């Protein structure tokens, strides 16, 4: 089978597509429930579709470009589970094709073939949540495009101005999809200085181009009198959010340990056992720097889960493909190839099976909404992080990210907070409020027009009575 991918023929992608569908089948058969982040993105798309403006009528820190995708997906497909999977599959397949094309175009290997695409396809089986339409996945496409332009700078006689401009725009676009991709700005600067020897003018061009997508978003929110909200909720408060650990470090280690070890061996093999051209040496250093910065994104994440590190996959595929060349004989290469074909997907399947049968999965999956026994179709506001009650009801709350809401409210002061909460209640008029965080009484204190409208039940639900 490996000989099939060792031919430089774009038709090999047909085999990649068939193998991709085959390897994804077990995940579909496992009946994986909806994940908490997935449900947040679905609700976000619904709220924007209803006319609410992100960062103003929706308190959340999802990237503005990601929000546009969820709005479009919500408009056309109601952000269904199937639409999430299909769009994510298309993006992943494009990344596999483009990454392989990028490596061939920049002469990363002595032989041009589709082994990197094969390895990359296997690595996408490490976790089931790679297949969800996450901001990290969407943004990683533009990270890959930026990396391609960065690699092109390792070649001689390259017209740098268009590549540098596009490099910055792609990286800035990735940042507008997913906040942790902010780290790729220093990657571009450091790699440009240390590896490609960029001039001051080129570095200034990268910085300017990186800021263009953000400036476009800022202009949009300025037109809607929401620029301070955009800056505060997407930039300032992003560093104050405590992390939610959907999975443990043990889980992340189980998923990524073997690919990282093989990738490091491939890197060392490149530097010690192989005579590289100048361009290949630069590429090797660039990919290692890229790998380290991908791991460093952990410090900017507000949710820790495997899909947050999805942009690391092309780098792992690059080094693991080099690891293949350690084996000189076809027999040894076939043994390595078939071993990876069995072991890497098995890591993902076994971890998923373990998680589905372990109590720790409650940190990641969306719980059953039957806990509160709320009738379907009711207008509900949840003051807390449990979004399960919204599954079969109508969300009547701007507080999509309640952790961010609490920080945002504390920052604005008590008087402004009460005014904002009063305005939100008047606008949304929820029929039922679930006060999970225990803040309702404090937030309506000194609001005489609100207190008479709500009463608590024996099970802790807050019901709206006669409206004005």
The reply to whether 239 and 380 lie within a common domain is no
- Quote the pLDDT of residue 467: 43
The reply to whether 208 and 134 lie within a common domain is yes
Query: Which residue in 466, 468, 401, 390 sits closest to 434, CA to CA?
Result: 390
- Establish if 112 belongs to a structural domain: yes
The arithmetic mean of pLDDT across residues 379-402, rounded, is: 92
The arithmetic mean of pLDDT across residues 236-247, rounded, is: 91
Ramachandran area for residue 438 (φ above 0: left; ψ -120 to 50: alpha; else beta)? left
pLDDT(66) > 90: yes
Q: Could you give the C-alpha distances from 359 to 227, 252, 256, 354, 367, in angstroms and in order?
A: 42, 17, 22, 10, 12
Confidence of residue 160 (pLDDT cuts 50, 70, 90): confident
The reply to whether 311 and 386 lie within a common domain is no
The reply to whether 348 and 392 lie within a common domain is no
Question: For 102-106, 247-251, 458-462, which range has the lowest pLDDT when averaged over its residues?
Answer: 458-462
Residue with tokens 């999977």: 85
pLDDT(372) > 70: no
The arithmetic mean of pLDDT across residues 159-169, rounded, is: 84
User: How are strands ordered across the β-sheet holding 461-464?
Assistant: 394-395, 379-382, 432-434, 461-464, 454-456
- Quote the pLDDT of residue 156: 56
The reply to whether 235 and 110 lie within a common domain is yes
Contacts of 339 (CB under 8 A, 6+ apart): none
CA atoms within 13 A on the CB side of 272: 8
Contact by Cβ (8 Å): 234, 179: yes
- Establish if 326 belongs to a structural domain: yes
- Quote the pLDDT of residue 168: 93
Question: For 179-193, 342-356, 361-375, which range has the lowest pLDDT when averaged over its residues?
Answer: 361-375
Q: Which domain holds residue 376?
A: 369-464
pLDDT(429) > 70: yes
The per-residue DSSP string of 15-64 comes to HHHHHHHHHHHHHHHTTPPPBHHHHHHHHHHHHHHTTPPBTTTB-----H
Contacts of 103 (CB under 8 A, 6+ apart): 109, 116, 318, 321
Domain count, the chain: 2
- Establish if 20 belongs to a structural domain: yes
The reply to whether 257 and 284 lie within a common domain is yes
Q: How far apart are CA 456 and CA 462, in angstroms?
A: 4
SS3 (DSSP) at 114: coil
The per-residue DSSP string of 141-181 comes to HHHHHHHHHHHHTTSTT--HHHHHHHHHHHHHHHHHH-GGG
- Establish if 362 belongs to a structural domain: no
Query: Which residue in 301, 305, 176 sits closest to 241, CA to CA?
Result: 301
Phi/psi of residue 316, nearest 5 degrees: -60, -40
- Establish if 422 belongs to a structural domain: yes
With a pLDDT cut of 90, the percent of the chain lying above it is: 59
Q: How far apart are CA 115 and CA 29, in angstroms?
A: 28
The reported pTM is: 0.93
- Quote the pLDDT of residue 430: 92
SS3 (DSSP) at 398: coil
- Establish if 364 belongs to a structural domain: no
The reply to whether 167 and 315 lie within a common domain is yes
- Stretch (H or E) spanning 115: helix 115-123
The reply to whether 280 and 377 lie within a common domain is no
- Establish if 363 belongs to a structural domain: no
pLDDT(371) > 70: no
- What is the chain's mean pLDDT, rounded? 89
The arithmetic mean of pLDDT across residues 38-44, rounded, is: 95
Query: Which residue in 27, 67, 84 sits closest to 230, CA to CA?
Result: 67
Q: Give the end of a domain, one of 333, 356, 379.
A: 356
With a pLDDT cut of 70, the percent of the chain lying above it is: 95
Confidence of residue 106 (pLDDT cuts 50, 70, 90): confident
The reply to whether 160 and 287 lie within a common domain is yes
- Stretch (H or E) spanning 74: helix 64-77
The arithmetic mean of pLDDT across residues 123-151, rounded, is: 94
- Establish if 361 belongs to a structural domain: no
Confidence of residue 262 (pLDDT cuts 50, 70, 90): very high
Q: How far apart are CA 201 and CA 10, in angstroms?
A: 38
The reply to whether 258 and 376 lie within a common domain is no
Count of Cβ atoms closer than 10 Å to residue 65 Cβ:
20
The reply to whether 63 and 179 lie within a common domain is yes
Residue with tokens 């709500």: 454
Pairing of strands 379-382, 244-245: unpaired
Q: Give the end of a domain, one of 307, 323, 356.
A: 356
Confidence of residue 145 (pLDDT cuts 50, 70, 90): very high
The reply to whether 346 and 423 lie within a common domain is no
Pairing of strands 461-464, 394-395: unpaired
Q: How far apart are CA 256 and CA 261, in angstroms?
A: 9
Q: Give the end of a domain, one of 326, 356, 386.
A: 356
Q: Which residue has the higher pLDDT, 344 or 112?
A: 344
Kindly give the residue spans of alpha helices, DSSP state H, lying in 178-248.
Answer: 184-194, 200-223, 227-234
Q: Could you give the C-alpha distances from 251 to 49, 69, 134, 220, 262, in angstroms and in order?
A: 36, 30, 19, 40, 18
pLDDT(342) > 90: yes
Contact by Cβ (8 Å): 95, 228: no
Query: Which residue in 177, 165, 150, 169 sits closest to 213, CA to CA?
Result: 169
Contacts of 34 (CB under 8 A, 6+ apart): 81, 365, 366
The arithmetic mean of pLDDT across residues 436-446, rounded, is: 88
Count of Cβ atoms closer than 10 Å to residue 83 Cβ:
16
């Amino acid at each position: 089978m490996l000989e099939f991918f060792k031919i430089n023929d774009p038709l090999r992608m047909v085999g990649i597509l068939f193998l991709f569908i085959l390897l994804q089948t077990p995940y579909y058969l496992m009946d994986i429930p909806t994940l908490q982040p997935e449900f947040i993105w679905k609700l976000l798309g619904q709220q924007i579709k209803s006319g609410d403006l992100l960062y103003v009528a929706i308190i959340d820190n999802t990237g503005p470009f990601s929000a546009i995708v969820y709005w479009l997906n919500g408009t056309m497909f109601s952000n269904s589970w199937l639409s999430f999977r299909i769009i994510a599959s298309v993006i992943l397949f494009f990344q596999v094709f483009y990454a392989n094309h990028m490596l061939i175009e920049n002469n990363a290997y002595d032989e041009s073939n589709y082994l990197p695409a094969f390895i990359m396809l296997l690595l996408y089986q490490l976790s089931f949540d790679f297949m969800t339409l996450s901001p990290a996945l969407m943004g990683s496409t533009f990270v890959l495009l930026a990396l391609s332009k960065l690699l092109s700078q390792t070649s001689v006689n390259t017209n740098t101005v268009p590549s540098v401009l596009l490099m910055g725009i792609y990286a800035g676009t990735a940042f507008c999809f997913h906040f942790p991709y902010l780290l790729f700005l220093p990657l571009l600067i450091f790699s440009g200085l240390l590896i490609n020897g960029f001039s001051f003018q080129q570095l200034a061009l990268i910085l300017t181009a990186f800021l263009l997508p953000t400036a476009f978003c800022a202009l949009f929110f300025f037109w809607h009198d929401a620029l301070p909200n955009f800056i505060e909720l997407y930039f300032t408060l992003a560093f104050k959010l405590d992390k939610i650990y959907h999975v443990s470090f043990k889980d992340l280690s189980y998923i990524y340990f073997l690919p990282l070890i093989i990738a490091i061996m491939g890197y060392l093999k490149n530097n010690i056992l192989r005579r590289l051209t100048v361009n290949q040496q630069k590429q090797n250093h660039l990919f290692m720097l890229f790998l380290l910065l991908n791991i460093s994104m952990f410090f900017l994440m507000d949710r820790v889960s495997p899909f947050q590190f999805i942009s690391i996959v092309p780098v792992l595929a690059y080094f693991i493909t080099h690891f293949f060349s350690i084996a000189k004989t076809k027999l040894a290469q076939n043994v390595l190839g078939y071993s990876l074909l069995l072991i890497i997907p098995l890591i993902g399947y076994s971890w998923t099976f373990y998680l589905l049968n372990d109590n720790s999965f409650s940190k990641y999956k969306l719980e059953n909404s039957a806990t509160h026994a709320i009738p379907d179709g009711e207008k509900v506001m949840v003051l807390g992080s449990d979004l399960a009650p919204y599954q079969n009801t109508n969300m009547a709350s701007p507080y999509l990210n309640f952790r961010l809401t609490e920080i945002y409210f504390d920052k604005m002061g008590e008087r402004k907070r009460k005014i904002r909460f009063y305005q939100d209640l008047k606008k949304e008029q929820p029929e039922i409020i679930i006060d999970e965080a225990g803040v309702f009484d404090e937030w309506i204190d000194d609001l005489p027009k609100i207190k008479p409208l709500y009463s608590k039940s024996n099970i802790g639900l807050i019901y709206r009575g006669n409206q004005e």
